[in-house]
Amino acid sequence: MNYRESECRGCGVFCTKSWCDLCRIVVPHITGQDSSMIESRQTVEKVRRELGHPDSRPNRIWSAIRRMDSPEADWATRVRPYDAIDRISGSPPPWEIEDEDIELMASRSIAEADTDRLRRLQRGGILPDGSHLSWADGRFTLDGITVEVPYRGLGKLLKRKRGLEDVDWKKLLISVSLANKRFRGPDRRNRGAGRETTIHPVALIRPNLGPLAYPRMYGYFGRRRQPDLPNYNQLWFEGASWMDAWGDNRQVFNGDLDDMVVPTALFIKKGRLQLRVRRPGGWRRLEVESHPEVWAKVVTWALGPPNSEHQRRLRCIQQSLFTDTEIEMISGPDRNGIQMLRGIVTDNPNIDLETSPGGFRVRGSSGAMYRVTPGVGGHNTRFVVRGIGHSQAANPEGGVPPWHRDRPPICVVETPQLRRLVIGDALSTVILSLLDDLNSQQRIDTLRNYIREVRPRQAVDPQVAEFRQAENLRFRLRNNLAENRTRRYTVLFPRFWGVLLRLPLGERLAFTAIRQGRPNLTFDGCGTEFATRDMLERRLVYGMLEAAGWQRDPHEERVRGYQRIYIRTGTGPQNLANLVEGFAEIIEPILTVNERVRLVANPAWSFFERNNPGIGALLPGTNERLD
């Protein structure tokens, strides 16, 4: 099948669609809108003709919208007089707003407000159509319905002398409040629709749009705290042309969230109704002219179904009518940045363009794989870099291995120099750095850690593996607290006990303070050294010395300046069973865990000699440091 090629509206390359695959990924992050939401030059010229070719001055455009011959604003006109309401206390006065009221509402603080003023605002007043509008606790209420009101613009409207008699103020103000609602679907922040988009506000009142009937499940502009979004009754808007348009287009929508994404348009800021438009210096919010017909038409276009004539007309006005005709939606530097990015992607076999989820798959010089996607990342960067494994361990189906799918993004911070570049140049710089990641890791520590983590392990020689396993077992054994405790009290202390029993009479022992792992028990006539760790072990040694015939030597303590010097003056009894059981009771609690589980099966005294061997040669392995 032959396709007709045309120039891409973003970078100018020839493709079969209006936008090439690369621009569909990058353009939403330049304009804040999906490329499908950017209107063509032909559509803009059509809308410009409908409005009578106004220039880019805002007052000229508002006048053109007001004079536009269209029935789209007829719904804001009452077709029958409103029903009079009999009130016991008399009718409230007509609604009006003073400068002091505006200051109070803009400050959002009633702590120091005048009580009489608060009472008057709470009582409210009657609009020309008979509906009642009041303000209390920072919120407007229209006939019992909480609404957001552009009170500055409404005050200007009510000062007009003509054209207010037939306005359906209730329907108009509720529609304005609805058009001001903005909320997003899950993960909308980094998806391809753009940051200046929203789920269509009509999702709040359309029960037949599937999951959109429950807007509270979606974050309000990406905030973690979900606001109390109001419920809107469809009957409030009965007869509105924009509501009828939804009925005519109902078969187009299947309830999919992505079908309801539209550009952000209307805002209510400090009592002003504002429209987001593109000016010569960039995107701005301009106050909409305070005229009921202008409000009604702009609201009709904003609340029309996505991709309808209403929405397209408003997008043309937002994107092109408030700026000079020669200023393109995508600036020259941005076009150059896209073209540079295209050249890098096209010329390098280690880069793949992924239309879903919309990014670039990069293979670094180390073999590590990365995915770079435009969007808001850590430290407010304009891109997100994720590690997706190693090329030698790639998923045969081409996807991300399961063990890398939930990996957090790699932190790559934008330098001040990089932030001054357009997004196309910034993406090119990051991709080039990842292509040469072996050198880039010298400047980016997070890359070094990631490369080391995903690098495939090489086969190990069997003999080396056995040696490492033995070393590992020895290390684990040395750091096994239960094994260390068992060995100390069933092997080392019994060896020290054997030394005390076999040394000759007159042998001296220096017993100093605890030295944090260094020996504090040393003998004059042998090389045995031992270290106690706490007071419990010192008590155990005291009992052993007494049982083996050792006594303190005060004279030698004064000569050497030590606190404790012991000398052996006797050999002790032949049967040491009772004495051994006595000092061994000190360590019984240490050999028991949780007062139930014993580290050894036999009692502690069974590991100590109970038959006195007498003076003799030391046993092997005892004439040394015991540890």
pLDDT score, position 536: 92
Q: Give the other-Cβ count within 10 Å of 380's Cβ.
A: 9
Q: Of the candidates 385, 233, 241, which has an alpha carbon nearest to the alpha carbon of residue 299?
A: 241
Q: Locate 351 and state its tokens.
A: 């880069």
Cα 32 vs. chain centroid, distance in angstroms? 20
Q: What are phi and psi of 336, to 5 degrees?
A: -65, -40
Burial of 522 (0-12, 13-18, 19+ CB in 10 A): middle
Measured on CA atoms in the order 59, 61, 67, 73, is the torsion positive or negative? negative
Q: Looking at the predicted structure, is the pLDDT value of residue 446 above 90?
A: no
**pLDDT for the residue numbered 222:** 42
Check residue 396 and give its pLDDT: 46
Strands 383-390 and 550-552: unpaired
Going by C-alpha positions, the residue among 556, 560, 576 that lies closest to residue 568 is 556
The pLDDT assigned to 251 comes to: 36
Q: Lowest-confidence range among 216-220, 458-462, 503-507?
A: 216-220
Name the band, by pLDDT with cuts 50, 70 and 90, for residue 227: very low
Tens digits of residue pLDDT in 608-626: 999 999 999 999 999 999 9
pLDDT of residue 172: 92
For the stretch 114-133, pLDDT in tens is: 888 889 989 999 988 888 99
565 burial via Cβ count (<10 Å: 0-12, 13-18, 19+):
buried
pLDDT of residue 619: 94
Phi, psi of 362 (to 5 degrees): -120, 135
> Could you give the percent of the chain with pLDDT greater than 70?
86
Establish whether the linkage from the previous residue to 357 is cis, with ω within 30° of 0: yes
pTM, two decimals, is 0.64
pLDDT band, very low/low/confident/very high, at 215 (cuts 50, 70, 90)? very low
Cα dihedral 50→53→56→57 (10° resolution): -90
